[in-house]
Amino acid sequence: MHILIIGGAGMVGRKLLARLARDGVLHGRGITHVTVHDVVAGEPPAGAPFQTSVVVSDLSLPGEATKLVGARPDVIFHLAAIVSGEAEADFEKGYRINFDGTRELFEAIRRVGGGYCPRLVFTSSIAVYGAPFPEAIGDEFFHTPLTSYGTQKAIGELLLSDYSRRGFFDGVGIRLPTICVRPGKPNKAASGFFSNIIREPLAGKEAILPVDEEVRHWHASPRSAVNFLVHAAGLKAEQLGTRRNLSMPGLSVTVGEQIEALRRVAGAAVVQRIRREPDPTIIRIVAGWPRNFDPRRALSLGFKAESSFEEIIRVHIADELGGKFVA
């Protein structure tokens, strides 16, 4: 089996690659080759039981997607995107990467022809939804994105459904919760503070909280995100039917509840490293985001996430900090 990971140098892409290297198989099929694509070079996993190729290019440029799918990969994970805050700040860049890049990929697959029909897993976002919201967003709630990023992801979902309907590929879109706690350095995502206020204090550093503690949001860990991707790759077309896009399970908590979970796991001294500094731009963006979901369809198809925010914090400590933190 040949797997293509687009956006493979990003955090989730790296973790997905490590998972594939550890397993050596995907849903019972042996992996022979993984191509990792991004605008920067990804790092091949040490000791992987398959060949790894690293390709560096801009997916939105004409012809680049054609090169990637020319080898007819069996499974394609499309993770590449400009994140929410950057897509809002740079309108042209957001549409070029998040829309043009996705369309270039879909068209390149279509042009291969000859019965080629790979499984394509597309990472969408809960940003496809916009306020006003019900108490919990169910599977029947409509798309009303209030950001450019959410609009770009919603367009990607529609394209995925139509190209799948036409038989060009076998697609499934997964709307990821905000992934928390993200390892590494802060990025330009407007949602970055949800991770920052946990990750930085655990590392002995100060973190800025730009919103009120009453802000509620929908979360899952990086470990769950990888599990979602792997599980989605094995769903059968008849399980999905014509509705190819799914909201993933997660956990609805307020920022205050995040902080209290951190206090219970790590203690008061760690929590004192959080400094309140309101940011009107972040407050405005976050105000239009969904807060809670009722993802019955995804649950019925076997997707799972954490059941408490303490569990999410402990996943971060175990996976990223070697089981230790700065008290």
Which residue type occupies 270?
V
Catalytic residue among 95, 129, 149, 163: 149
Here the tokens at position 37 are 């694509």
Note if 116 is an active site residue: no
Cis before 118? omega within 30? no
What are the residue ranges of helices labelled H in the chain?
A: 11-23, 64-69, 84-89, 91-95, 101-112, 148-165, 192-202, 222-233, 237-240, 255-266, 268-271, 280-287, 296-300, 309-320
Here the tokens at position 23 are 């397993």
Which residue type occupies 137?
I
Closest CA to 57 of 36, 40, 77: 40
Positions annotated as catalytic residues are: 149
